[in-house]
């Protein structure tokens, strides 16, 4: 498999997840998905860049609300279980671009 084929496979897998698998998740599974994804992303960003909020951007938020119409409510519920105090002010600043 070439590098290009590999990258196209990743994109195809992501598209399949968002169009076929994610919509079939229950609300609780969606909350868990966003909790796990956010926790892992923030931890990774903190370790790599010392800025855990660098994972959030307008582009990221636009994608999130595109794939999940009820994103704001689900994300708020997910973050309430993240295990540390989430800085909503910093988050809102990042997603506004």
The whole-number pLDDT of residue 46 equals 75
Asked if residues 71 and 31 have their Cβ atoms less than 8 Å apart, the reply is no
Query: Would you say residue 50 lies in a domain?
Result: yes
pTM reported for the whole predicted model: 0.84
Q: How many domains does the chain have?
A: 1
Question: How does pLDDT run along the chain (97 residues), one tens digit per residue?
Answer: 798 888 888 888 888 999 999 999 999 999 999 999 999 989 888 777 778 899 899 999 999 999 999 999 999 999 999 888 899 999 999 999 7
Query: Would you say residue 75 lies in a domain?
Result: yes
Closest CA to 67 of 23, 28, 35: 23
The whole-number pLDDT of residue 11 equals 87
Query: Would you say residue 79 lies in a domain?
Result: yes
Q: Which domain holds residue 40?
A: 26-95
């Amino acid at each position: 498999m070439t590098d290009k084929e590999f990258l196209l496979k990743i994109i195809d897998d992501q598209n399949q997840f968002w169009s076929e698998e994610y919509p079939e998740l229950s609300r609780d599974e969606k909350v868990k998905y966003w909790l796990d994804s956010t926790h892992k992303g923030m931890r990774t960003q903190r370790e790599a860049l010392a800025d855990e909020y660098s994972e959030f951007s307008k582009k990221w938020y636009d994608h999130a609300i595109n794939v999940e119409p009820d994103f704001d409510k689900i994300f708020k519920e997910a973050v309430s279980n993240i295990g540390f105090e989430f800085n909503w002010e910093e988050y809102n600043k990042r997603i506004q671009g």
